Each structure stands twice: as C-alpha cells, then as structure tokens.
Amino acid sequence: MSAVYDTIIIGAGIAGSATAYFLSQKGQKVLIIDKKGIASGGSGAAGAFVSPKIGKGGPLQSLTNEAFSFAKDFYLKHFPAYYHQSGVVRIPKDEEDAAKFSSYEPFNENSFTKLNVEELKELGIKVPFESFFFPEAGACDAPDMCRELLKGIDYIQYEIKEFALENGIWQLGDYQAKNVVLATGYENSLFDMRYMGVKGTWGTRGDFRSNLPLKVSMHQSMSVSANIDGMIRLGATHEKSIKVPVVCQDEQALGLKEKASTMVDTSDLELVETFCGMRAGSRDYFPLVGRVIDVPFMLETYPSIIRGATPELKYMENLYICNGLGGRGFVFGPLMGKYLAEYIIDGKGIDKRVNPDRLFFKWCRKILQSK
C-alpha cells in the first residue's frame, strides 16, 4: 500500500465510498480510512432504501428525486447484484396524512401508480389507505454495496485524530495526499465546521428470517423490505434524543417487528441480527458537498460578519466534505460523490443546493450573534 495518494477520504460510509469510487474512476489514487470499518456507522445500520421523496414540491424534493433517478440507474448498471428493485409502496401514516396524498400526486416526478386497499391486500399489505407505488424504487445491501464501491481502492481501518498541511501536502500519520475529503458522518471534531450544523439521528435496523412471500418493499412511519433470499429488513430513523451511540439491543429491532405488524404479517419473522448507528444530517437537511471554510480565519479577520458583512470566503487548502446525507444516504450517495469528484478533478461548480457555503453567513449572524 502506497503512502502517497491524490486523495485521502476519512469515513467509509456511503458518502465516502461513493466519492472514492468516482475519484478512482477519474484516475485518482485514493485511500479511504475509517476507524471502525466499512459501513460501520449509520450506513451499515441503514435499511438502504432507494426511493423518491413525496410532498408538495420544493428544492429538497426536486434534489432528492434527481438523486433517486441517478442512484437507481447507477446501481442497476454497475452493481445490480446489490440493488433489489422490488418497488416501494409509500403508505400514509394516518387518516390526516392520507387526506394530503392527493395534493402530493402532481409533484411525483418519478414513475408511480396508485394502489387501492384491495390491491395492497393482494400484495400482503394490510393498511386501510390508498398508497403510491414506485416500481423503480428498491433497496441496497448496505455494507456489501459500500464494499463493492471500494473494490480495488486502498482502505485501512484506523482512527485519525488530527492531521496537518505541510508544504501543500496533507500529512495523516504515515500517509500523504494533496486532497482530503471529510465523510465522517455525525462526528466532526477535526476542523471547525459548526456552521454546517451536522447532527446525528439514531437509527436501528433488524434483519429477520422469514418465509413471507412479500415481493414489494414499503414505507409508512418505518421501512419494511421485500423478502430477499429469505430475509426481510425492518428499519427506522427517528430517535433524535440519542446524542451518542449506544449499544445495540435486540429489543430495539423487536420493537420494529411489533410496529411492522400493522402493515404485514410478522408472525414468522425470526430476528437474525440487529444494526444501529447515527445518520448525519445538515442544518437545513440538504447534503453538504464542497470545500471547507477556514472559520477561525474568517471570524478573526472579519468580525463584522456577525453584523451582516459578507467578505470573500477563505477556504482550507484542498480540504473537502461529503456529508449530511441524512436517512437517504443510498439515494444521495452516488450523485453527491459524482458532484465532488467533478469539482475536485474537472473544476465543475458545485450545485448551490448542496454547497456548504450557503450556511456560513447565516450561521455567523443568527448563531454567533446570539451568544
């Protein structure tokens, strides 16, 4: 393994793995580092559903659905063994939510059909609401997908506690690189990135052995996968009260089984394994892809920022981020990795919707000024 690289990526979840893949495809020599292992955090605990976002439109829904279209085509073309295009049924949470579904329909930008209660029953879904079915959607084998993305790319399991720039080259222990990409998830202690507002949401997934002939996946207030090779995956990401990782308990996954019983017959589901982890989201729920601002320099040099000044930004040299993909990591991952690779290698501009610069001045004014 070489000690000198074009780019070193810290974090081997879906964000880091996708970025490594696209940089490698462009001819870069890449090293990816993770302190716990490939897909060991939120990505490993993800149900890894790849489906559109429903709602009344807006920038986040449009971006999500663009990313969905790119992701499902990318997975089918390059990694079809690890993407199961079962289709996903989106079910209203309750009667109030069901009343809103008709207003969402004009904004469904991807192929869909509506399923009535009888049609859902034929699929083994026992809910009293008409639902949307997205046939192109599906689910990934999360850890396997990350490993496949990294095939042929150097990887080490190692904890990076600090690193430094010396003569234009980043020094990370025994390794060197021109560029560093931070894909560290909810943990961001290496540089001052408070303006991005990265926060973790605890997620749990349970893998259950089952003979239930469930051919489609579904999402209501939690996700239930189709039966793939005798396994049904149950997942949810809603526990914002958990601030630091805790030990996974089977009771958490069994709680998902009880919850899923309102949608499907769970009587023969036998728990095989429980996964837990933090999914990282940004302050405004959009992904974070681009350069990292030199926050100490900006605050020391331009104290008037907190009163509304907007001087030219100074960035950390050759330091980038791909993070904040939230609970839709396997939807956003491929497109965000492509965006960053094109920026680093080709100089293509970052989509303003995901550029972290969007958050800096607002953070300075509203957060710092209040202290």
CATH of the domain at 105: 3.30.9.10
Answer whether residue 78 is part of any domain: no
What residue type is 53 in one-letter code? K
State whether residue 344 is helix, strand or coil: helix
**250 within a domain of the structure (yes/no):** yes
pLDDT digits (tens, 9 = 90+) for 42-87: 777 777 899 999 999 999 999 999 999 999 999 999 999 999 999 9
Tell me, yes or no, whether 211 and 346 share the same domain.
no
Please tell me the total count of domains within the chain.
2
Residue 66 lies in a domain: no
Residues 290 and 319 occupy one common structural domain: yes
Judge whether 188 lies within some domain.
yes
| One domain for residues 225 and 320 | no
One domain, residues 314 and 348: yes
Structural domain boundaries, residue 16: 4-42+144-198+283-368
Judgement on whether residues 90 and 161 belong to the same structural domain of the protein: no
For the entire predicted model, the pTM comes to: 0.94
Mean pLDDT of the 177-196 span:
92
Q: How many helices (H) and strands (E) does the chain have?
A: 10, 19
Examine residue 272 and state whether it is found in any structural domain, yes or no. Answer: yes
Higher pLDDT: 370 or 302? It is 302
Is the same domain home to 213 and 355? no
Establish if 69 belongs to a structural domain.
no
How far apart are the two ends of the chain, measured CA to CA in Å?
47
Q: What is the pLDDT of residue 277?
A: 85
Ranges 178-182, 203-207, 308-312, 366-370: which has the least confidence? 366-370
Among the candidates 277, 303, 329, a domain finishes at 277
Q: What mean pLDDT do residues 274-288 have?
A: 91
Distances (CA, A) of 356 to 17, 28, 163, 214: 20, 24, 22, 41
**pLDDT above 80 for 266:** yes
Task: Among 245, 277, 309, give the residue marking a domain's end.
Answer: 277
Residue 220 and residue 121 share a domain: yes
Q: How far apart are CA 143 and CA 31, in angstroms?
A: 18
Residue 64 lies in a domain: no
Digit-coded pLDDT (tens) for 197-216: 998 888 889 999 999 999 99
Between CA 363 and CA 356 the distance in angstroms is 11
Could you tell me if residue 68 is inside a domain? no
| Predicted local confidence at residue 249, as pLDDT | 83
Q: In whole angstroms, what is the distance from residue 21 CA to residue 15 CA?
A: 10
Same domain, 302 and 194: yes
Distance CA 357, CA 349 (A): 13
Which CATH number fits the domain that encloses residue 313?
3.50.50.60
Shared domain check, 359 and 292: yes
Whether 125 and 221 share a structural domain: yes
> Alpha carbon 92 to chain centroid distance?
23
Q: What is the pLDDT of residue 244?
A: 63
Is residue 304 domain-shared with residue 359, that is, in the same domain? yes
Which among 256, 277, 298 is the end of a domain? 277
Please state, in angstroms and rounded to a whole number, the distance separating the CA atoms of residues 335 and 359: 21
Stretch (H or E) spanning 36: none
Same domain, 134 and 228: yes
